[in-house]
Structure 1
Amino acid sequence: MRIAGLVLTLCLAQQAAAAQEEALLLPSGLEARLLEVLTDRPGGGLAYRFRFVAEGFTGGEAALEAVVADMDYLCQTYAVTRLPGIGPMPSRIVISLADRPSEFGVFDPEVTQVFEAYSVQDGVCIWEMF
């Protein structure tokens, strides 16, 4: 089981490194780049976390519709399309979008960041309330 986990981790690292160079044009007009993909097994099962950075991202309630559209886009057109190459089907995908890179799990008041959770059914991202 440890070998399978190591292989999955190496596969994710290779995909993330290649994707960091790929700019994704979001519906809001911002360009996002993949920072990293993390896996964990919270109480609800396997989850993949796709962390993106978009310079100029400001978040906020005024831009709520644009943020929702960007998050849905990243899940549906990026994350879901890469699931077959990553490994087992997760019970949840978490998409995060920030204005700059940050260390996962470390609070940084200078970073503007949002995140949303999705389940996947028949290749479609379905928003999940936290």
Structure 2
Amino acid sequence: MRHALATVFVAFGGTLWGATTAGALEETPAVPSGNEIRLQEIIYETRQDNSQVARFRYVMPLIRHGLEFHEIEEDFFHLCIGVAVPYLAVEQKEVDQVIISMADRETEFGVTTTLATQYFEAFSIENGACIWEGF
């Protein structure tokens, strides 16, 4: 499926959004697995069907050392309900879907790379709740 993108990036340390917006979100949130992660960026998109998507892209370096999906599976829901939903509420952004991704290194969105290992989970957002969609 092709997506028409109307994208806004939030980059920590960058100039795309002001510091007051970036300050409302922890750059290194705690997750149930206890592994260290950091937020790479948030991307908003409008798809061809006009649905709104927010992508929260994280880097978890331990993935490159063989960490498997089942070892961090709970982290995805935690980031959706504990980070994405509150952040979107503060920013007054309404989206139909939140996609949480974790990679072993920073990657450029939409660019295929065989060097990175990435895991993804998608959630519908209804009444402030995250509903797992599964890929």
Alignment TM-score, normalising by the size of structure 2? 0.75
Q: CA deviation at 1:87?
A: 3.4
Classify the secondary structure of the residue corresponding to 2:90.
Answer: helix
Q: CA deviation at 1:46?
A: 0.7
The separation in 1 between residues aligned to 2:79 and 2:26, in whole angstroms, is 16
Q: Is the 8 A contact 1:20 1:35 kept in 2?
A: no
Q: Is the 8 A contact 2:25 2:83 kept in 1?
A: no
Supply the RMSD in Å over aligned alpha carbons. Answer: 3.0
**1:48-81 deviations in Å (ceiling 9; x for gaps):** 1110111212497x83333220111111111111
Which has the larger helix fraction? 1
The separation in 2 between residues aligned to 1:105 and 1:94, in whole angstroms, is 14
The separation in 2 between residues aligned to 1:109 and 1:117, in whole angstroms, is 22
| Unpaired runs of at least 5, structure 2 | 1-5, 11-15
Aligned residues: 123
1:52 to 40, 46, 58: 58
* Counterpart check, 1:127 vs 2:132: yes
Give the aligned residue type for 1:51. Answer: R
* Counterpart check, 1:85 vs 2:90: yes
| Unpaired runs of at least 5, structure 1 | none
The separation in 1 between residues aligned to 2:65 and 2:94, in whole angstroms, is 30
The share of aligned pairs that are identical, in percent, is 36
Q: CA deviation at 1:13?
A: 3.3
* Counterpart check, 1:101 vs 2:82: no
Classify the secondary structure of the residue corresponding to 2:68.
Answer: helix
The separation in 2 between residues aligned to 1:32 and 1:50, in whole angstroms, is 12
The separation in 2 between residues aligned to 1:119 and 1:36, in whole angstroms, is 20
